[in-house]
Chains A and B, each alone.
Chain A
Amino acid sequence: MITANAVTKRYPEGHEALKNVSFEITAGEMVFLTGHSGAGKSTLFKLLAAIERPTSGSIVINGQNLSALRRNAIPYLRRKLGLIFQDQKLLFDRSVLDNVLLPLSIVGHPTKDAPRRAQAALAKVGLPGRGKAFPIALSGGEQQRLAIARAVVNRPAIILADEPTANLDAASAIEILDIFRAFQQVGVTVLIATHDPLILARLKPRILRLDKGEMSEQMPDQPLAGATP
């Protein structure tokens, strides 16, 4: 589903954020990307979302080579991804429901059906009936759920989440992870960037570890399906 081959990202000022990184994630897998801050997690996230392009190497998502992607094809790639940003990027001037309606409007989803679909997404992340509230009225954990609802409302095959549990207490973090696991169980490929050791210790998942731009891999100690929350 996601294949990275010898990916290097060098910024104009000479800093090498990713060095010769290769990995493969198959469909339906849930993989964690970890490492200290500044290790290159966010850079990799940006490359996968086609926000930036690799200096060399190739990234193939769902059969599409991102390096060969034309500028006007990028929006169509992003529609297949459920992106959850570290700073969430919620729109605070509109209601919770309107935030979730935005991706549907972008793909031209029928206006009549859109609210029903958005409500379903909100229910799935545990925010049923909160559509009329404004994001500012939500707790940190609830805001993160809203960000997830917006990412999944178009039913993407891949979810990319950048530090989705940062700034959350342990209980909220576990609830958020359960939501991701529920999506993985219905076949969605999930890649989560995190540096939260608690979560990794708990789930014992497949981990891609970045250290100063270099990647090492750690296979799961036990099958993910058997992991208990």
Chain B
Amino acid sequence: MSAWFAQHLTALRDALRRLLAMPLNTLLSLLVIGVALTLPTAGWLTIENLRKLTGDTPGVQQISIFLALNASQSEVGEIESRLQQASAGSWRFVPRAEALKRLQEAEGMAEIIGSLPKNPLPDAFVVTPADSRPESLESLATSFSTWPKVAHVQLDSAWVKRLDSLLRLGKLIVMLLAVLFAGALVTITFNTIRLQILAQAAEIEVAKLIGATDTYIQRPLHYFGLLQGALGGLCAALLVTAGSHLLTPPVAELARLYGTSFTLQGLSANDIVVLAAIGGTLGWLGAKISALIHLRRIS
């Protein structure tokens, strides 16, 4: 067991030595791998942030119930008790007078409203459903519209649906990008390992002649691919983190102009570990394939 461990340690040290032996080459490879991993990672992060943004906006998941203009006080009470029974979530009653007052406060509206002979606005309920899935919002809105004295039910579900499918499309695109760049990473490692094998052909030949197993020869190459991939992953994490730091102030400013607060979510420590692990795994894979193919040519 300890001999096995020592051999792996030797191979790891050997791989590190080879990485450090040509710092410029290594740096370039890491940068290429880093950029390849940055694109899907940045895409994923953007989608995560958009999801968080929509999840945080309660306005999207509200249903407005507008009553008929001639609805009486008791009929309003009737709706209220029905809402209670349906246990649809929380709601707020907006009397028509209050609605008018609020509209008057809006810029430029006071004059228009002043010219009206009477209040054109109905009484309304704004319901925030407990269950915010698009399907249940839809069915809730349908049942509201059958109630007496309900003139109109407004649901922003179409908007939610559109955004939802847009996010799903985005996710698919990111996934395709990820597959593409994973292929690129494997190819990059494949080629670096090929060059490594060419550079060490003499050493590999001697080692084979004096009794080295294929495992012994391949082990440092596998570690090389693994290290290069993992470091490339860290490189990508660095690039993405730098990017999100640069974008945080303008995004916050934009959110402030829209009257909300929003902080851009960067990569967590966990995300960085996962990214390095993915890079390492792909690098190892590229190295394994390359070693299998190219070592066969050295007898």
A79 interfacial contact with B, CB 8 Å = yes
Task: Give chain B interface residues in 3-19, CB to chain A under 8 Å.
Answer: 3-4, 6-7, 10
- Residues on the A chain within 8 Å of B86, using CB: none
A103 to B207, CA, bound (A): 8
A32 interfacial contact with B, CB 8 Å = no
B299 interfacial contact with A, CB 8 Å = yes
A16 to B299, CA, bound (A): 22
**Known contacts A51-B299, A91-B202, A91-B203; A106/B211 CB under 8 A:** yes
Count of A interface residues, CB-CB < 8 Å:
23
A151 to B4, CA, bound (A): 23
Report yes or no: B213 in contact with A75, Cβ–Cβ below 8 A: yes
Residue of A nearest to B7 (CB): A108
- Residues on the B chain within 8 Å of A102, using CB: 206-207, 210
Q: Would you call the interface of chain B mostly helix, strand, loop, or mixed?
A: helix
A203 interfacial contact with B, CB 8 Å = no
Which of A76, A103, A151 has the largest count of B CB atoms less than 10 A from its CB? A103
Choose one: B208, B209, B211, B299; the contact of A107 (CB below 8 Å). Answer: B211
Residue of A nearest to B206 (CB): A89
B216 interfacial contact with A, CB 8 Å = yes
Report yes or no: B209 in contact with A89, Cβ–Cβ below 8 A: yes
A110 interfacial contact with B, CB 8 Å = yes
B212 interfacial contact with A, CB 8 Å = yes
How many whole Å from B204's CB to the nearest CB in chain A?
11
- 23 A-B contacts, Cβ less than 8 Å apart? A72-B214, A75-B208, A75-B212, A76-B211, A77-B211, A79-B210, A79-B211, A83-B209, A89-B202, A89-B205, A91-B202, A91-B203, A102-B206, A102-B210, A106-B207, A106-B210, A106-B211, A106-B212, A108-B3, A108-B7, A110-B6, A111-B10, A151-B210
